[in-house]
Structure 1
Amino acid sequence: MSAEIREPGLDELLIFIRDARGFDFTGYKRSSVARRISKRMNDIAVANYVDYRDVLETDAAEFSALFNTILINVTSFFRDPDCWAEVREQIIPELLEARPDGQIRVWSAGCSTGEEPYTLAILFAEILGEDEFANRVKIYGTDVDEDALREARSGTYPATSLAPVPADLRERYFASDGEQYTVNNDLRGRVIFGRHDITRDAPISRLDMLVCRNTLMYFNVETQKQIIDRYHFALRDGGYLFLGKAEMLLTDSNRFEVANLRRRLFRRRAGDTAQTPPALPPIQTPIQSELREVARRRRLRDLTIEAAPNAVVLVDVDGTVSMFNDLARDMFGLAATDLNRPFQDLELSHQPVDLRPMIEQAEAERRHLRVTAAERHLTNGSVEYIDVLLQPLFDDDKRKVGTALTFVDTTTASKLQNELQRTRQDLQKAYESLQSTNEELQASIEELETTNEELQSTNEELETTNEELESGNEELETMNEELRIRRGELDEARTFLSGVLSSIVAGVVVLDSQLRVRSWNRGAEELWGLRSHEVSQQPFFSLDFGLAVSHLRAIVEQCRTSRQRTGPVELAAVNRIGRKITCSVACSPLDDHGEGVVLLMEQLHRS
């Protein structure tokens, strides 16, 4: 072991990174991970691992820079074409012959930005045809890098990345937008991306093929063995393991046979009866509990700032920027390099209002200050209105430690307020003009006054109406009383129906007249994995979940037109845990006026 690896604090730093961000590098080759961490430390002039951990605790952006240094995302479409030719000509036909009617399950582990699983999808679609491919093949792409997975899920790549893709395949499976290409929806829909750590998480099971190319080489021998154990568990008998050219599997011939050594293709031997995936033992150190608690608190603080509904910037007592959330990044164009910069060097320190003297005032007076509707002129010529709240921060000893700046975009409200003020002024002028007219126009004046009162509040409108219809006052009071009683009954009925809706095991989805989601009950959440707040007011036919909602448009339109119950229809679907099911869907009108529909979704069986 080198002196660099023996440097105090490396194990504690790796455990802190694992507990704070969920990236477990303890099983990586120590020489490699130590060298890459040292490179990052040299870039920011940090002397040792202990000091670098302090940097990570205070600078959330440094985690991203470190992960980009450690995680080498090297991939491309049809990387090593001769290997993919072997997969196309030999492996895939053998899999289809072995399972002529069954579903084919493929896992691309360490998929980076997604080129590899999309390559697999193209090959299967070419051999099976797009319709049969959509019905029979499911491809999983996993990685530990969330940034890489976001790119993979988008399915959008520059033209240079598609250079290895033959022109006919590029035209068939990608849509061009200038210099960008996007995977078509049919192909994208059969690839499921998710975060997965092959050293810690349970493997995907019942696989016909597992692709993990040039990933194992970054781990030490012990971790490689444990990962191979998991891969062996994940594959069916006869399933293929496709490794990278830098990796071999020569010492495990009792469990894997060589299919093509040159192409690094191996096949799982039949006969192993293991039922559970092996688990990697956790690393225990005397300070692990303390590190976990520190990491948990720091993560909680970071999440609280990020989850804030408004842009937040924290300025340290020495006048430097110590933290900001994503909303602040988007609103003011901040970058990771702006952390630890003097606040006065940033444009937002004096735009839309000079905040520097106000920060000093808030700290000196030890109270909150607020700026209302400050105008911010954007480069495109438009104007934003922003409320700024300055909150001085003090520790337990009442010593000032900094200032929290909260920016609230009130552009819409301010514009509405200005418009309302102008409307009021216009109405006042109209009212004064009407007062100068003769008695013959008095009825018109009263009508305009009534209209003006309607704009103010419903109560004033009712008072004016009651004055004009004084002779019918008793009748109106009786009617109002009946309405109040009926409203109470309606509220009770709504509460009762809400309770019934939430208790229904089946999925119930209520759509409004625009076919947007109005209600999404607990049964729908359990069936599809989407929460009510995620789909509320979203167009139903634009939702992407385990049910092919486009197949429901006919019965929904029929229900809206006939205002009678339609269905049920039975559709193949995939529930929230990825299992194929048959779903029965019935559609009923919400009312007699075509204002919406109610969809009842019931799982008939799993396949």
Structure 2
Amino acid sequence: MTPIDPHFEALLEYLKEARGFDFTGYKRTSLMRRVSQRMATVGVTGYPQYVEYLEVQPDEFTALFNTILINVTGFFRDAEAWDYLQKEILTPLIEQKPTTAPIRVWSAGCASGEEAYTLAIVLAEMLGLDEFRRRVKIYATDVDDEALAQARQGAYSERAVRSLPQEILDKYFEVQANHYVFHKDMRRSVIFGRNDLVQDAPISRVDLLVCRNTLMYFNSETQSRILTRFHFAVAEGGVLFLGRAEMLLSHTNLFLPVDLKRRVFRRVTRLASQGAGTYYTEPTTHGQRGNQGVLDHLRNEAFLASPVAQIVVTSDGLVALTNRRAETLFGVSTKDIGRPFRDLDVSYRPVELRRYIEQVQMERRMVRLADVELARPGSDTLCLEIQVNPLPARDSSLLGVALIFHDVTTARRLHEELEHTNGQLETAYEELQSTNEALETTNEELQSTVEELETTNEELQSTNEELETINEELQSTNDELRHINDQLQHNTQKLDSANAFLEAILTSLRAGVAVLNRDMHVQIWNRRAEDLWGLRREEAVGQHFLNLDIGLPTEQLRSVIKQVLGGAEQQEMYLPAINRRGRNIMVRVVCTSLASDNDTPSGAVMVMEPEFTAEPKL
């Protein structure tokens, strides 16, 4: 577990307060590595000094967020998983829906939009263009405003679309100024917006939620919170599609795997609790009519004295009723009766209630908001569960909406303590079970050992006689070994001299050199490569070359390396990159096969020669 650095935590709080980006739920190891990368680029050595730097250099926020929010995406990323999603998931899901029913999809963490437009292409291919425009809504969200701006443009370079078949490019893209632009009439079905998965309310009633390689950046606690919101967002029978690094093995109460290999999960149905609102019918008997005033007064006092905060809003948005508990929590009193609800602070704090009221008025069903936190100055933060209930009249018209605020702070605290206790009990039980199994295994091993010792004792007696004979043979062999040892020492000196000579050559080269084996793992990483990418030899050797976290887009070299390993001649290409100082460079990469005793190359030699220019060579 990564130790907590209070200075780093203070930096995260500063980012949250200054710019509204909450990174406290991200995994600390990778987060600290990326922040340190920016600090090294601007020449700052400590987290407190970096806070000061951000205060005087506001443009640094953008560079830092771009470093933290790694927007790695692409069209039909993991094509086999997309093919499975289309054939095995979306096809039956669409067939089960009425032909007029809308199809709602949420692409969470959409980055620059390739994933959202991939969804549009898949659904358009399945439904046809006309039905796609009529039925499909794709909501694409991300926390990075710059990435969203690029996504809304829908314009991509030739390199970004090179994985798409030509018929798809011709059908869904237009070429404009050396860019491929997604068709405007289809872009109307893709709605981009900013959404922080940790803080903002989820999009509801979606049939498919795609969130690929986003959860892996968050710690386990934050992942649980996000998955709870995803469970609320996905409609009954809906599907969650994740990335290759995300398993959800500990969240089977929310989503069950449909195909674990391709990371496709289906929403688990959970019974919703009934609403807690109390409704009264009009008195009808003669005696009750005589006591109408007393009963009305009694109902009014009971409503005012209720320990649960309640606010009633008319169908046209005016405050109709409020009780004392609501006044204590939100400052809403009888003086506010008749005022528009949207003018009250409670309408948008601690959560935006107006859109949920509109949803209840339109759908005529209760909406429940869980885990809503209410911060109170000078007091503990409360955890609320909010119910938005429709109030229908006898003629089925809507009289208004009742807002009921349940204080579940104690219940939540007890639930967390219970989960913690259960976790400790499970750990203790597993340890006890493991110990018991270990003892049983040890007992069996001891019994076996006793039998083996008895047999060995007899064998040793026989072996002793053989050893005496062997000892004489070893005496004569010893002389031969001395001679061989002398030869080995001589050869070792030669090898050391050759290695030193090779190291001197690699060090003197202007270009970075990486030698890979057939599995593309780095065997040699020269000093120029260290200077070029900021990755030490100890960090690079043994790692998969395509997984190195350097400024060179290594993924684009996959096909080149495979060709060379397959016996092709020397391959060469130019790639734009960023060196360890954050400077844009053009790198000439030459890939040559590493010769072996047979005809099959034993590896590849990558020569990376930087040229400080932003224009690629043809």
The bucket for the TM-score relative to the shorter chain is: 0.3 to 0.5
Instruction: With the length of structure 2 as denominator, give the TM-score of the two structures.
Output: 0.44
Instruction: With the length of structure 1 as denominator, give the TM-score of the two structures.
Output: 0.45
